[in-house]
Homo-oligomer: A and B are copies of this chain.
Amino acid sequence: MLTETLLEQTKSARQAAQSLATTPTEQKDTLLQKLAQAIRQRQATILEENQKDMVVAQQMVRKGELSESAYRRMLLSPSKIEQIATSVEAVAKLDDPVGQVELGTRLDEGLDLYRVSTPIGVILVIFESRPDALVQISSLSLKSGNAVILKGGREVQRTNAALTAIIRETSTSSDLPVDAVNLVETREEVAQLVQMSEQLDLIIPRGSNALVQHIQKHAQVPVLGHADGICHVFVDADANPEKALNVVVDAKTDYPAVCNAVETLLLHQDHPADSVQNILESLHAAGVELRVCEATRAEFCNGLEIPFNDAADEDWVTEYTDLILSVKTVPNLETAIQHINSCGSHHTDAIVTEHTGHAQEFLHRVDSAGVFWNASTRFADGFRYGFGAEVGVSTCRTHARGPVGLEGLVIHKYLLYGSGQGAGDYGVGKKEFRHEPLPHTLPELDL
């Protein structure tokens, strides 16, 4: 029964996607502008539903079923709603990722090939308990001409339902398909959707490691995202102490719950002890638990009056997403790179150094979605990268890697404008291909 309902839903989403795929940019942008207005106008309703969610969530916090920080992220306010509306307008202003001509080649006189970006189709996105994520993902999907099936946290069920209703009503009133944005509410539904994933074109799971791994294992369509975010900062021998301090403290404490926070600090054994001690003291002062290797204890901890725990083997492969940092001292750059490539999650890793040769080597050889020199791992983010918005961060090695903006929500098709040619007309002793580049604009047709 559930399967049938979901099958109907995916079919409607598929139809919506087909219609959205050929919707002109203006119409999509008008929808988004209207949506921003509708969100502002319906503020009272949204806050009311959010309040109902908060009451239930408060009980969950008391029972220990929900963390305080998740509880705080759920809460909407008039200013938060204004932010959400503004973010929708920001997406409307981005370039349409669909219809971009990526390649033009004259195969022969009167035989012109173009590659044009197109939407992907139907995308399932599973996301955490932030209601603003729902609106952001929906805006990006609509803008890129994809239909989306959304599953948010059950704690914000009512808020999500209210927001989805507004998006669907605005779609209808803008002559766009209502089923472009769809909400499912239970884990059971997600499990079923993953089972029947041949009905989908892409799954983007944001959330727990276990969830992502489960979906990667069972889905039959591409899965975009990351299971772990085990990021590193390597403080080289001749790192500038001030830069090292700023980068390490920011990378750990700016927002420890997210995937681009640092989990392991690598220290070159020859970096000045006073600089290291300054960093460790600052981290401690910021409430960070330090789990250090033997070499770190021997090299740097003497004389420091702050607590240290011993790092165990599993600390090098653990994503804490908390105010905990493992600290390892290494003899050289090579060991640092090898540690990162073997223990990390290929998400984002940084070196702090004034040695340009080391920086180059690190940038070149660390095999991660983001490799940074003298900058915090926390910059790995679609907004900071200038994409306007993001659907998630990917550690995949196909399609999109790193923060994924609108560009990650499109694929392409090849258009060939001929004049009656067959492939058999070309070859040895026959016509020859030219393969000359063409401007990236489709031919103007005389309609």
Contact of A250 among B240, B244, B423 (CB under 8 A): B423
- Whether the Cβ atoms of B369 and A413 lie closer than 8 Å is yes
Interface centre among A414, A433, A435 (most CB of B within 10 A): A414
In the complex, which residues 349-384 of chain A have their Cβ closer than 8 Å to any Cβ of chain B? 352, 356-357, 359-360, 363-365, 367-376, 378-381, 384
In the complex, which residues 88-125 of chain A have their Cβ closer than 8 Å to any Cβ of chain B? 105, 107, 111, 113, 115, 118, 120-121
Task: Let me know if A47 is at the binding interface, CB within 8 A.
Answer: no
- Whether the Cβ atoms of B422 and A254 lie closer than 8 Å is yes
Contact of A372 among B121, B224, B416 (CB under 8 A): B416
CB distance from A11 to the nearest CB of B (A): 11
Binds B, one of A168-176, A270-278, A311-319, A397-405: A397-405
Task: Let me know if A220 is at the binding interface, CB within 8 A.
Answer: yes
- Whether the Cβ atoms of B422 and A111 lie closer than 8 Å is no
Task: Let me know if A421 is at the binding interface, CB within 8 A.
Answer: yes
Number of A positions contacting B (CB below 8 A): 83
- Whether the Cβ atoms of B111 and A375 lie closer than 8 Å is yes
User: For residue A356, which residues in chain B have a CB less than 8 angstroms away from its CB?
Assistant: 445-447
Nearest to A120 among chain B residues (CB) is: B397
CB distance from A441 to the nearest CB of B (A): 14
Query: What is the bound-complex CA distance between A380 and B115, given in angstroms?
Result: 12
Task: Let me know if A31 is at the binding interface, CB within 8 A.
Answer: no
User: For residue A113, which residues in chain B have a CB less than 8 angstroms away from its CB?
Assistant: 385-386
A-B contact pairs, 28 of them (CB 8 A): A21-B367, A107-B385, A111-B375, A202-B397, A216-B220, A246-B420, A250-B425, A352-B420, A356-B445, A356-B446, A357-B447, A360-B445, A369-B414, A370-B415, A372-B416, A373-B415, A374-B418, A375-B416, A376-B423, A378-B422, A378-B423, A380-B414, A381-B423, A385-B414, A386-B433, A398-B411, A401-B412, A403-B414
User: Beyond A107-B385, A372-B418, A402-B412: 4 further Cβ-contacts under 8 Å?
Assistant: A113-B385, A254-B423, A357-B445, A384-B423
Nearest first, the 10 closest Cβ-Cβ pairs linking A and B are A250-B422, A375-B418, A243-B420, A378-B423, A386-B435, A399-B399, A372-B416, A398-B399, A374-B418, A356-B445
